[in-house]
Structure 1
Amino acid sequence: MKYTTLPHTDVKVSSICLGTMTFGEQNTEAEAHEQLDFALDKGINFLDTAEMYPVAARQETTGRTERYIGSWLQKNGNRDKVVIATKIAGPNRGMEYLRDDLSFTAANIRQALEKSLTQLRTDYIDLYQLHWPERKSNMFGQRGFTIQDDAWEDNFKAVLETFDALIKEGKIRHIGVSNETPWGVMRFLEESKQHGLPRIKTIQNPYSLLNRTFEVGLSETCYREKVGLLAYSPLGFGTLTGKFLTGEHPNARIKLFPRFSRYSSAQSTNAVRKYQEVAHSFGLTLTEMALAFVQQQQFVTATIIGATNLEQLDENIKTHSITLTDEMIKAINYIQELIPNPAP
């Protein structure tokens, strides 16, 4: 396994991070523990979760993912062996069952954090992330920003002040954002620099062969400001394995939860087919090429992978040793020019 450090920290993390959002929906507690054992044995020490998981989010299952990780930590007594990232949900996504008020007030952040600490059965979170902006912004299927009415008032400084207090209390080590924009990242960094407040270390956004919108604005921002990308959905909900080109997979996430249809549009399917042809021409599987492409980007700190069984997990982990040649990258970029970002 390859390792790196979270930017501006001494926290060593595996370049592959285990995503856990299937735990509690597609995976039982026993299966979750098997995946965690397997990943740790293969050298993965970085786990990502969220208070709203598993996906697809619903009131009946919310929090199960953190609880399954928590029971694993308690059973094995290995909290010191893993770096845990989790996330607080914000407004605009219809999850009022989490809290009456989903805004990022000091009280709400503390309430969400304490609940995650309890569910994870730990005293601290290594990386605490805002799951998406509190303001209305472009995310989840949008290529660009749409101006719209928004009652949100600028509170970047107040949010960082809350995190500052929690870090001093020892409940959080570092902070990050998710599904953010270049403007949001720079505002957080500006407030941090001006007022001596905690600095965001990471951003967790989608990045894959089907969605390279991170390269527009965010890649330069994060490269120059040393904010590390934790790339999620590197396989586009499994579409970049190529399995949906050959037949039905009724138990796959994209089939179980049709709301994630952006990865199965006609444009996306056409792009997947072309990328698979490129991968095979170089003697690789599409999975290998898709994950290797993400992993070798300079602005990527870790690639978040997820699986529903150990075979998938093993295949994904093995890709950490693959490096794509300039010729392969050229072929990939040609398809990106033909069919740019079909699944934003």
Structure 2
Amino acid sequence: MKYTQLGRTGLKVSRLVLGTMNFGPQTDEADSHTIMDAALDAGVNFFDTANVYGWGANKGRTEEIIGNWFAKGGDRRERTVLATKVYGNMGADGETPWPNSDKLSAVNIRRAVDASLKRLRTDHIDLYQFHHVDRNTPFEEIWQAIDVLIQQGKILYVGSSNFPGYKIAQANELAARRAGTIGLVSEQCLYNLAERRAEMEVIPAAQEYGLGVIPWSPLNGGLLGGVLKKEATGGRRASGRAADALADPASRAQIQAYEDLLDKHGLEPGEAALAWLLTRPGVTGPIVGPRTADQLASALRAVELELSAELLSGLDEIFPGPGPAPEAFAW
């Protein structure tokens, strides 16, 4: 496994991030523990989750699965850089949400941290991430709450997720005015070969303020994972948004060109899509969310892939990025 520092911090993390969103809803606890053990044995030390994972009536279940894994001992917690998130409503589905049970008020942040720590069966969270922008809570209040939690030793670093570039700038400019506040050190954003809008402003802002970029959905919902090849050979067919995209002739032709290019180079589409992200400026590591140990093994191979200049050029032709702002929309 290869490692890098998380943004401007001294924290060393693996170039792949183990995403745990499937743990609970799609992968049972025993198999989830097997995947986490395999990831740790392979050198993946960066695990990502969120308080709402488990979804619906099972919100928090994913954190519980991770907490039970930590409780097995064997230095599992000590060897893991643990990231979770706050924002979503943790109240029971179907009921009127109780005030202050979501978003980024100081009240909810304090309560959410304590609840996550209990489910995760640990005394601290290494990277606490804001899952979304809260337009109604000023960053002065957010940073005040975070400062207290850092002083208490409950969290060490803070990151954002799904933030636009201007919010990254706003958050860190306000943090800079507060003595001792480190500010955001990472941004978790939607970024992959087929979805490159983050290159316009989010990634440049992250680089300017020293944030590590953690792409989610690196295979674009499965579209970049060899979906047409699997379809042709009787494998798992595309569903949901991926199926909708393939119903569009232009999108289908684009994915076919992508798979043909990688076939020419003798590469697996999913592994190449991850390897491409690892070549991108500012990227710490993409989040991979394996449902099985075999999917994890495939993701691990991506770290060792070297993509040729010819292949990278071909990928840019198929999936041209927007380019940085303001040139992307001006002159």
Partner residue, 2:192: 208
Deviation at 1:185, TM superposition (A): 0.3
**Aligned equivalents of 1:155, 1:305: Cα separation in 2:** 32
**TM-score for both structures, normalised by structure 2:** 0.88
Deviation at 1:335, TM superposition (A): 1.0
Deviation at 1:337, TM superposition (A): 3.4
Percent of matched pairs sharing the same residue: 33
**Aligned equivalents of 2:246, 2:128: Cα separation in 1:** 31
How do 1:144-159 and structure 2 match up within 5 A?
152=136, 155-159=138-142
Q: Does 1:70 align with 2:67?
A: yes
- Farther off after superposition, 232-241 or 42-51: 232-241
**Structure 2 stretches lacking a partner, 5+ long:** 324-331
Partner residue, 1:143: none
How do 1:1-344 and structure 2 match up within 5 A?
1-54=1-54, 57-58=55-56, 60-77=57-74, 78-90=76-88, 100-101=99-100, 102-135=102-135, 152=136, 155-196=138-179, 197-247=181-231, 255=239, 258=240, 264=246, 266=248, 267-337=250-320
One-letter code of the match for 2:26? Q
Deviation at 1:195, TM superposition (A): 2.0
**Structure 1 stretches lacking a partner, 5+ long:** 136-151
Contact 1:90–1:134 (Cα < 8 Å) also in 2: no
Which 4+ runs in 1 deviate beyond 6 A?
Answer: 94-98, 259-262
Deviation at 1:261, TM superposition (A): 6.5
**Aligned equivalents of 2:35, 2:78: Cα separation in 1:** 18
Contact 2:197–2:321 (Cα < 8 Å) also in 1: no
**Aligned equivalents of 1:236, 1:80: Cα separation in 2:** 32
**Aligned equivalents of 2:283, 2:245: Cα separation in 1:** 22
**Aligned equivalents of 2:245, 2:111: Cα separation in 1:** 34
- Cα separation, partners in 2 of 1:103 and 1:303, compared to 1, 3 Å: closer
**Aligned equivalents of 2:202, 2:126: Cα separation in 1:** 24
Aligned length: 314
Aligned-residue Cα RMSD (Å) equals 2.4
**Aligned equivalents of 2:188, 2:294: Cα separation in 1:** 25
Contact 2:199–2:322 (Cα < 8 Å) also in 1: no
**Aligned equivalents of 2:312, 2:138: Cα separation in 1:** 41
**Aligned equivalents of 1:338, 1:259: Cα separation in 2:** 21
